[in-house]
Copies of this chain bind each other. A is one copy, B any other.
């Protein structure tokens, strides 16, 4: 096990009706906030009304900025930064999914600096402070509600880049599983794929002797596989949603990579796909991950076999662990397909013409490789994209 520091300060407020507490949680930090959201769906669902009623009751004034789209855009972030500075905003409240939260985190970093927040995403300097962020989560997926991460797409140049900083852990996140009852099935599937990907990125490590976190990750993967099947069978199954929603947060709150080094190549590769083609992140991951596995399997067949046996209930074949591992990958693909997701680039309407460009951008920025389980150069990324054809 590697040495590590771990501290996750986000307060989770979880359960039925908890959005009614957003005013009190917000007012503890500021009474002048930016209310950030996506499409108008929170208005149609009634959530907007309940949130603003709670803010009003707590004496919180808000400025609104809607319009966040999947793969959230830098242009809207800049608009939010401008509003925060102009109005003297003290907290950014994200009501939505990972895209809204990521956008809110970017605004929170940008609001307190003179320069351009995109510089942080380009690796030029690190944030020294940020406005507090609070969230009301509407979809279990990105884990951004209790993470250090934000991913933003620069509209100019189709670049999708991430920042990680302890400063942008949300101060509070409100999770009411009931809000998931009306999610489109495709979003449910993409969310579950994203959660599973967060777990697999952490699971496939070259760090030895990490049995405890192995088992915690396996427990979370089994939970996700089972509970998403239940919610797709009955979208009003509160308890299944509750398990899935909480698992989505724990999957990405940094507990599960304590003492380990995650891989993250599949995320990097997927970012290139969704940066150009604007596909849903989870849908992209369902395509990239099985291909990544086929490419990296030989690196540590035992680890793949352990995963296949413990998570996917593959019967162990002690004389042929590779066959066990390959059966695990097949079951992962079947899991994605059972939710209605494709597992090939063609399913995303991604053709062969820009594979080179994506591989090049992916290993760009001076790094030369992506991933830790196996370090992948441009040719290896290209090969993984081909395996996904």
- A-side residues, CB < 8 A to B, are 1-18, 208-212, 215-216, 218-220, 222-223, 226-227, 239-240, 242-243, 246-247, 250, 255, 258-259
Give chain B residues whose Cβ lies under 8 Å from the Cβ of A246: 1, 212, 258-259
Structural contact, B1 and A6, CB atoms closer than 8 A: no
Q: In the complex, what distance in Å separates the CA atom of A4 from the CA atom of B11?
A: 10
**Pairs across A and B, CB under 8 Å, 17 listed:** A1-B243, A4-B15, A6-B14, A7-B10, A7-B11, A8-B8, A12-B258, A208-B239, A209-B240, A209-B242, A210-B243, A211-B223, A211-B243, A212-B243, A212-B246, A212-B250, A216-B216
A266 → chain B closest CB, angstroms:
24
Give chain B residues whose Cβ lies under 8 Å from the Cβ of A210: 243
Taking CB as reference atom, which chain B residue is nearest A10?
A: B7
Looking at the complex, which one of B216, B258, B259 makes contact with A220 (CB distance below 8 Å)?
A: B216
Give chain B residues whose Cβ lies under 8 Å from the Cβ of A255: 250, 255
Give chain B residues whose Cβ lies under 8 Å from the Cβ of A6: 11-12, 14
Q: In the complex, what distance in Å separates the CA atom of A133 from the CA atom of B136?
A: 32
Give chain B residues whose Cβ lies under 8 Å from the Cβ of A10: 7
Closest 6 CB pairs of A and B: A3-B15, A209-B239, A215-B219, A7-B11, A212-B243, A1-B242
Give chain B residues whose Cβ lies under 8 Å from the Cβ of A240: 209
A78 → chain B closest CB, angstroms:
32
Taking CB as reference atom, which chain B residue is nearest A4?
A: B14
Structural contact, B212 and A247, CB atoms closer than 8 A: yes
Taking CB as reference atom, which chain B residue is nearest A15?
A: B3
Q: A215-B220, A218-B219, A223-B215 are in contact. Are A209 and B243 (CB under 8 A)?
A: yes
Q: In the complex, what distance in Å separates the CA atom of A369 from the CA atom of B36?
A: 49
Give chain B residues whose Cβ lies under 8 Å from the Cβ of A7: 9-12
Taking CB as reference atom, which chain B residue is nearest A215?
A: B219
Q: In the complex, what distance in Å separates the CA atom of A336 from the CA atom of B7?
A: 32
Structural contact, A5 and B16, CB atoms closer than 8 A: no
Give chain B residues whose Cβ lies under 8 Å from the Cβ of A13: 5
Q: In the complex, what distance in Å separates the CA atom of A17 from the CA atom of B218?
A: 30
Looking at the complex, which one of B209, B212, B227 makes contact with A212 (CB distance below 8 Å)?
A: B227
Q: In the complex, what distance in Å separates the CA atom of A159 from the CA atom of B40?
A: 59
A211 → chain B closest CB, angstroms:
5
Q: In the complex, what distance in Å separates the CA atom of A5 from the CA atom of B211?
A: 29
A206 → chain B closest CB, angstroms:
14
A190 → chain B closest CB, angstroms:
20
Give chain B residues whose Cβ lies under 8 Å from the Cβ of A218: 219
Give chain B residues whose Cβ lies under 8 Å from the Cβ of A14: 3-6, 258-259
Taking CB as reference atom, which chain B residue is nearest A253?
A: B255
Q: In the complex, what distance in Å separates the CA atom of A378 from the CA atom of B39?
A: 59
For A4, A6, A16, A219, the residue with the greatest tally of chain B CB atoms inside 10 Å of its CB is A219
Q: In the complex, what distance in Å separates the CA atom of A223 from the CA atom of B259?
A: 15
Q: In the complex, what distance in Å separates the CA atom of A240 from the CA atom of B211?
A: 9
Give chain B residues whose Cβ lies under 8 Å from the Cβ of A239: 1, 208-209
Structural contact, B1 and A12, CB atoms closer than 8 A: no
6 extra interface residue pairs, beta carbon distance < 8 Å, beyond A3-B14, A7-B10, A218-B219: A1-B242, A4-B15, A7-B12, A9-B9, A212-B219, A212-B220
A325 → chain B closest CB, angstroms:
21
Give chain B residues whose Cβ lies under 8 Å from the Cβ of A8: 8
Give chain B residues whose Cβ lies under 8 Å from the Cβ of A250: 212, 216, 255
Give chain B residues whose Cβ lies under 8 Å from the Cβ of A212: 219-220, 223, 227, 243, 246-247, 250
Q: In the complex, what distance in Å separates the CA atom of A38 from the CA atom of B7?
A: 27
